[in-house]
Amino acid sequence: EPEVTQTPSHQVTQMGQEVILRCVPISNHLYFYWYRQILGQKVEFLVSFYNNEISEKSEIFDDQFSVERPDGSNFTLKIRSTKLEDSAMYFCARSGGASDTQYFGPGTRLTVL
Amino acid sequence: AQSVSQHNHHVILSEAASLELGCNYSYGGTVNLFWYVQYPGQHLQLLLKYFSGDPLVKGIKGFEAEFIKSKFSFNLRKPSVQWSDTAEYFCAVHSGTYKYIFGTGTRLKVLA
């Protein structure tokens, strides 16, 4: 199964601080996604990204969140001013097409204190 | 709104027991269906998927799932579980937009 790597594996931050989570897809897939999983809850879709544009986003993905692929390789999720409720596991995923299977990374556990 | 329901939140089985995990979704159109597994401390891994064709799909590690359109269900089965199957199992639906909609997950514990 093609791989996705995510860094860091665990990020601890203070409330109000900015965090950047990174995803490095090891393939030439063009569709990227961020999901999050709050402890004990279901995996929730945040955003999809294709051709350097957001193609779909959820209600969770408000102005505090942004995504970009600055160097054509890393795909990043930025949270501008973290809140306690942003504590979750964040998963990056990628696929070869909009309808293709999505492959997930190992996740970044974000803890906001 | 689209949703996915997994009714079994925690399941405990002994080794060699048979497994069936329920998954129901609410969407009237064409769907792609998935089961993912998350072993402790690891990422989501694809177990199997259904796009079209034979409604009985076979996945890795002896798992299979049956798509029953009339029941909006995609239940996961395994005839004989092993201790190494201890994990959390997620059903997901993809219905034409970009996002997957996940169920709440089922934690399976297999006793050796």
C-beta atoms of A91 and B97 within 8 A: no
How many angstroms separate the CA atoms of A19 and B23, rounded? Answer: 35
Interval A70-82: pLDDT, tens:
777 789 999 999 9
Q: Are strands B106-111 and B10-14 parallel, antiparallel or unpaired?
A: parallel
Average pLDDT over residues B91-112: 91
- Reported as a pLDDT band with limits 50, 70 and 90, residue A14 is very high
| Cβ contact A90:A30 at 8 Å | no
Residue A60 has pLDDT above 60, yes or no: yes
How many angstroms separate the CA atoms of B63 and A110, rounded? Answer: 32
How many angstroms separate the CA atoms of A13 and B107, rounded? Answer: 29
- Reported as a pLDDT band with limits 50, 70 and 90, residue A64 is very high
Which residues in chain A have their CB less than 8 angstroms from residue B94's CB? 99, 102
| Cβ contact A42:B102 at 8 Å | yes
Residue B106 has pLDDT above 60, yes or no: yes
How many angstroms separate the CA atoms of B21 and B8, rounded? Answer: 7
Q: Is B77 on the interface with A (CB under 8 A)?
A: no
Locus of tokens 């996940």: B102
Distance (Å) from the alpha carbon of B100 to chain A's nearest alpha carbon: 7
Query: In this predicted structure, what is the pLDDT of residue A1?
Result: 55
Considering only CA atoms, which of A92, A101, A31 is closest in space to residue B50?
A: A101
Neighbours of B43 (CB within 10 A): 21
Secondary structure (3-state) at B26? strand
Which residues in chain B have their CB less than 8 angstroms from residue A43's CB? 44, 90, 92, 100, 102, 105
Give me B76's structure tokens.
């996961």
CA B22 to centroid of chain Cα atoms: 7
Which residues in chain A have their CB less than 8 angstroms from residue B42's CB? 106
Average pLDDT over residues A25-52: 87
C-beta atoms of B99 and A101 within 8 A: no
Query: In this predicted structure, what is the pLDDT of residue A80?
Result: 95
Strand partners, A20: A78
Average pLDDT over residues A12-16: 97
Strand partners, A23: A6, A75
Query: In this predicted structure, what is the pLDDT of residue A2?
Result: 53
C-beta atoms of A104 and B43 within 8 A: yes
C-beta atoms of A104 and B36 within 8 A: yes
More confident residue, A39 or A36: A36
How many angstroms separate the CA atoms of B109 and A24, rounded? Answer: 32
Calculate ∠ Cα B76-A2-A61, nearest 5°. 75
Distance (Å) from the alpha carbon of B79 to chain A's nearest alpha carbon: 25
Interval B14-48: pLDDT, tens:
999 999 999 999 987 888 999 999 998 788 899 99
C-beta atoms of A42 and B42 within 8 A: no
Residue A111 has pLDDT above 70, yes or no: yes
Average pLDDT over residues B47-51: 95
Residue B59 has pLDDT above 90, yes or no: yes
Cα dist. B98→A71, A76, B19, B23 in Å? 23, 18, 31, 21
Query: In this predicted structure, what is the pLDDT of residue B2?
Result: 79
More confident residue, B2 or B112: B112
Interval B69-99: pLDDT, tens:
999 999 999 999 999 999 999 999 998 788 8
Which residues in chain B have their CB less than 8 angstroms from residue A105's CB? 43
